[in-house]
Amino acid sequence: MALPDPPYDPSLIDAYTDYRLFVIEALRRMGRSRADLAAQLDLSVSMLSQVLNRKKRLNPNRVPLLARYLGLGDTAAGLLAAMVDLDNDSPRAKRLAWATLQAHQRALAPATLTEDMLEMMGRWYISAVYELALCEGFRSDPAWIARTLVPSISVEQAEHALHTLLRMGMLEPDPDSGGLGQAHGRVWSEQMPAGQLHSEAGRQLQGQLIELAVHSYHRVPPTERHSASIIGALSEEQHQRLVARLREVEQELLHLISAPDEHTPTRVVELTSWVYPCSDYTDSGA
């Protein structure tokens, strides 16, 4: 039996950076229809649907009506207005809108920082969106992000990734594009949770990445992927040296990826190294 929808609370807006997704979820929780909202905004149902489906823009003059219908206070109404401004053609207006949303999310961050870190560690697409923000032509639009990642993700997952990275301070308004870009100098690894929670999130992420690697054989052309596997017999000493060497190579590759380069990134890739036994010990005496 499906669980009942949680009741609507205007603070739901804190979980969004895209007003369309917020409105759709708010209507669902309120048990209201698009026709109800369209009447309040003096719009046709067809026009409202085009707005919520990203085919039309919402006139900013209707934001006060929408805020009142959703029961938003002054602060939340300001956030809604900022979200609507993200559709503005002016990079300056969009940058100011993102700055407003970022400031609000950062104010919420202390109570949720550990949770957000675990989210980033446990969901591959959040890290992928963070790296995608470095790429040429990046758009901080959940629908664009959802269809650009491979495999594609849902618009809701893309929105969740943007929201999480914005609250962690890992994305910030880009003064040139008016969108979002990577924040530089943000140190968050020192606050990573240690012990079992950290390990569990890491295991979850590793499992997702391995699954993506397996599926890449079916979704990525051979010319766009590299894979290599070796099966060999080793002593315990050789095994230790092999793992140590892999760690050195991983650090070299990390420096290669993060080093300044004359070319702007255009794609996100995933590389996983994995060493595991294919047999039991032969000197076990069994």
Domain of 164, CATH number, reads: 1.10.10
How far apart CA 216 and CA 219 sit, in angstroms, is 5
Query: Which residue's structure tokens are 């993700």?
Result: 153
Kindly state whether residues 114 and 51 are assigned to the same domain: no
As a whole number, mean pLDDT of residues 67-85 equals 96
Q: Quick one: angle between helices 45-52 and 34-41, nearest 10?
A: 110
What domain range is 46 assigned to?
Answer: 1-87
Kindly state whether residues 112 and 220 are assigned to the same domain: yes
Kindly state whether residues 120 and 209 are assigned to the same domain: yes
Domain-located, residue 101: no
pLDDT tens figures, 40-49: 999 999 999 9
Whether residue 257 is predicted with pLDDT greater than 80 in this model: the reply is no
Kindly state whether residues 113 and 216 are assigned to the same domain: yes
Name the domain count of the chain.
Answer: 2
What pLDDT shows up at residue 192? 44
Kindly state whether residues 53 and 4 are assigned to the same domain: yes
Q: How many whole angstroms from its chain centre is CA 105? A: 15
How far apart CA 245 and CA 168 sit, in angstroms, is 33
What pLDDT shows up at residue 3? 60
Domain-located, residue 261: no
Kindly state whether residues 118 and 204 are assigned to the same domain: yes
Tokens of 63: 């934001």
DSSP at 31: T
Q: Which CATH number characterizes residue 80's domain? A: 1.10.260.40
What pLDDT shows up at residue 201? 66
Average pLDDT of the residues of the chain:
85
Tokens of 47: 């026009």
Q: Is residue 112 classed as helix, strand or coil in its secondary structure? A: helix
Domain-located, residue 241: no
pLDDT tens figures, 149-203: 988 999 999 999 998 898 888 899 988 888 998 886 444 443 444 444 456 667 7
